[in-house]
Amino acid sequence: MQIKGFPVGALGANNYIVWDEINHKGFMVDPGGYSDKVFKLINNECFTLEYIILTHGHGDHIGGVSAYQKLFPEARVVACEKEKDMLINADINSSLECTGREISMGADIWVKDGDSIEVGDMHLDFIHTPGHTPGGMCIHVGNYLFSGDTLFCNSIGRTDFPGGSFEKIIASIKNKLLILPEDTIVLPGHMNESTIGDEKRFNPFL
């Protein structure tokens, strides 16, 4: 499994590209904007982009979806079923503020807590982690956790947006994420990576 991260969009959200070198299949997490570097990487590595996975529906994480759908029409968009209202409603997903245009979209595959998919030899588990948004979710694959805007390095996602809840995000992190092995590498939606062990010891919110 290979992983590359790129800061994209006006807010520099982390867009991750993940692929299986043996089976030449991969997925993308949170395309907050289009990047030529991402497009070239996918073409140069010669893998099929099977899924575009959204950890949540805010504009800085979905701004590039339409561009990649045109370039890779075989890629299916995956989101949590509890994020439908956020994704479809530009008034609450902050897309105009983040991208300069209103975005209203759905998904090809709606998942719920505990669902999983296979991409090549990679097994992806979806973890519903409400708090930043009602349908926020994390993706656990191998020794990595794509934590979106739920868990950051020594911080947590904001809870003052529509649908946010401080109590829910803390419960999500403590009950669903901190139970993962301490050496799990946390790849967040913004800023630098961390580990579950470091967040247990050093995150002042937890």
Print pLDDT tens along the chain (206 aa). 999 999 999 899 999 999 999 999 999 999 999 999 999 999 999 999 999 999 999 999 999 999 999 999 999 999 999 999 999 999 999 999 999 999 999 999 999 999 999 999 999 999 999 999 999 999 999 999 999 999 999 999 999 999 999 999 999 999 999 999 999 999 999 999 999 999 999 999 99
**Ramachandran bin of 112, using left for φ above 0, alpha for ψ from -120 to 50, beta for the remaining angles:** beta
Q: Is the pTM of this model over 0.75?
A: yes
Alpha carbon distance 113, 138 (integer Å): 10
**What CA dihedral angle connects 177, 178, 180 and 186, to 10 degrees?**
70
Cβ-contact 156, 188 below 8 angstroms: no
Q: Helix (H, G, I), strand (E, B), or coil: what is residue 174?
A: helix
Query: How confident is the model at residue 10, as a pLDDT?
Result: 87
Q: Which residues, at least 6 apart from 22, have a Cβ–Cβ distance to it below 8 Å? A: 120, 121
Query: How confident is the model at residue 202, as a pLDDT?
Result: 98
